[in-house]
Structure 1
Amino acid sequence: MNWDQIAGKWDQAKGRIKEKWGQLTDDDLARIQGKRDQLAGRIQERYGYTKERVEEELKAWERDSRW
């Protein structure tokens, strides 16, 4: 699934994002509003991951997301 599809289904995606990255709050997700770069930054901030690791995880999550 590409990011445009995910952003278009943001309300559904938020639940799946919280399953994968549970340290993200509802407030975080409300601020992100489907913006991939903001999601990546927030994951990096909450988990202390490198930018590269966040990109790898996001790509894998996007690839594996099926709705």
Structure 2
Amino acid sequence: MEFLLLLLVLPLIWLVRLPVRVVGTVRRRPYVSAALGLGVLATVWIGFQVLSDEAGQADYAPGDATLRAMLER
């Protein structure tokens, strides 16, 4: 049981310390902050594109009807 608790706690500690490691890397390498910023902006933009109302509203009915008509012959 203690081993399972350890398996659950170690990834949690790793995730909690992640911001500290990122800040340390940014301080040592100044261009990393620009790359991280661009990565965050790209991720947010892609997320907005995926979650927008216009996404995924394709109308397959005409093609479906055509395919059914072709298969029924």
TM range (shorter): under 0.3
Which is greater in Rg?
2
More helix by share: 2
The two structures have a TM-score, normalised by structure 2, of: 0.26
